Amino acid sequence: MSATAAVVVFGATGHTGRFVVAELRRRGFATVVSGRDAARLEALAAEWGDVEVRPATVDDAGSLDRALAGAAAVVNCAGPFAVTAGPVVEAALRAGIPYVDVAAEIEANASMFADRTEAARAADTPVVPAMAFYGGLGDLLVTAAMGEWTAADAVHVAYGLNGWHPTPGTRVAGRVSHERRAGRRVRFAEGALRYHDDKPWEQDWVFPEPVGRRAVIAEFTMADVVTVPSHVAVPEVRTYMTVEAARDLADEETPAPEPVDALGRSDQTFVVEVVVSAGGVERRASARGRDIYAVTAPLAVEAVERILAGRTRATGVASAGAMFDAADFLRALSPYVSVELPH
């Protein structure tokens, strides 16, 4: 392990948190594991053998300050982010260290941009929300596809998942979002998030081969509707989800993901395709890989590594596409993600 300051993973005992810890350790980062359950943290630390344990809870600012003391950065993996993001980012700003989270919750991400931008800029501290499969990967693909464009007429992000076994954390976050919206749905149109009661509908999307044509739920809105417009001048962002994955998520009986390889990944596969249009011209980019939770780890850890190395394009609160060289970042995700970008 590195002798330099450690990276703190808050929510380290969760499904995604464990992947993030493993990726940090694989890259040689000293790692501190944190969260509310001290016993589970200790048990995992005994398993890992080379991590420090610092329990903390979001309702105890002092415990968060102790957890982040002397750290190089913090990765927040603890949902629901409507509850955790505010206290953890405030602790990071008090400590003067970068904050990265893996939030997929639309409202939590919108709140991060709305409520923390001024403080993060004043602290000259990078804050990157949604540095994950949802929100981060799509934003990087959109930014890379745009190239020299600074504005677009519309952005479409289609998620081709062969299925979706949600974690307990995903289920809780979904319930919190549903309650915050009073059961309404959300879209990004006419340059703003808009809530509505329209029924979902299906259409076909032709994904890159070998996936091909698939039925998708149109306006299955994900965090890209926050991350992309945060730095791209675009009036409309739409996201889509394969019907199979949407049905899995909606079914309360769908079990949590089961590991099938030595890395702990499930057998879930994905392809993400973005289409950016401007002035009648379309540009496309795509990424394919395995296990949406596992692939979040290299996304988040690559972000931390680049921030600590000074390989950034912004400070304060910024999405992945605004903070990093998007095409270079995507290429660095190999072998976890295979990427096709416009030539």
Domain ranges of the chain: 7-131+296-327, 133-292+332-340
Q: What is the number of alpha carbons within 13 Å of residue 186 lying toward its C-beta?
A: 21
d(CA 40, CA 12): 9
d(CA 114, CA 193): 13
Superfamily of domain 7-131+296-327: NAD(P)-binding Rossmann-like Domain (3.40.50.720)
Give residue 118's pLDDT.
97
Per-chain mean pLDDT for the chain: 96
Superfamily of domain 133-292+332-340: Dihydrodipicolinate Reductase; domain 2 (3.30.360.10)
d(CA 166, CA 213): 24
Give residue 200's pLDDT.
92
Query: What Cα–Cα distance (Å) separates residue 36 from each residue in 60, 179, 197?
Result: 10, 24, 37
Classify residue 276 as exposed, middle or buried by CB count within 10 Å of its CB (0-12, 13-18, 19+).
buried
Read off the pLDDT of each residue in 63-68 and give the average, rounded to a whole number.
98
d(CA 196, CA 149): 31
β pairing state of 154-161 and 99-101: unpaired
User: What is the dihedral sign for C-alpha 169, 286, 300, 257?
Assistant: positive
How are the residues of the chain apportioned to helix, strand and coil, as percentages rounded to the nearest 5? 40, 25, 40
Q: Give the model confidence (pLDDT) of 313-323 as tens digits.
A: 999 999 999 99
Nearest to 267 by CA among 243, 293, 244: 293
Nearest to 257 by CA among 140, 133, 157: 133
Give residue 296's pLDDT.
98
Q: Count other C-beta atoms under 10 Å from residue 57's C-beta.
A: 17
Query: pLDDT tier at 209 (50, 70, 90 boundaries)?
Result: confident
Give yes or no for residue 339 having a pLDDT over 60: yes
Give residue 3's pLDDT.
43
Longest C-alpha distance within the chain, in Å?
57
Q: Give the model confidence (pLDDT) of 138-169 as tens digits.
A: 999 999 999 999 999 999 999 999 999 999 99
Read off the pLDDT of each residue in 243-257 and give the average, rounded to a whole number.
97
Query: What Cα–Cα distance (Å) separates residue 280 from each residue in 55, 153, 207, 326, 343?
Result: 53, 9, 21, 23, 18
Q: Give the model confidence (pLDDT) of 14-39 as tens digits.
A: 999 999 999 999 999 999 999 999 99
β pairing state of 201-206 and 7-10: unpaired
Predicted structure pTM score? 0.97
Read off the pLDDT of each residue in 269-285 and give the average, rounded to a whole number.
97
Query: pLDDT tier at 201 (50, 70, 90 boundaries)?
Result: very high
Find the helix or strand (DSSP H, E) in which 244 lies.
Answer: helix 243-250
Give residue 1's pLDDT.
36
Q: Count other C-beta atoms under 10 Å from residue 204's C-beta.
A: 10
Q: Give the model confidence (pLDDT) of 109-137 as tens digits.
A: 999 999 999 999 999 999 999 999 999 99
Read off the pLDDT of each residue in 277-289 and give the average, rounded to a whole number.
97
Give yes or no for residue 305 having a pLDDT over 50: yes
Cis peptide preceding 80, ω within 30 of 0: yes
Q: Counting every residue, how long is the chain? A: 343
Give yes or no for residue 210 having a pLDDT over 90: no
Give yes or no for residue 4 having a pLDDT over 80: no
Give yes or no for residue 2 having a pLDDT over 70: no
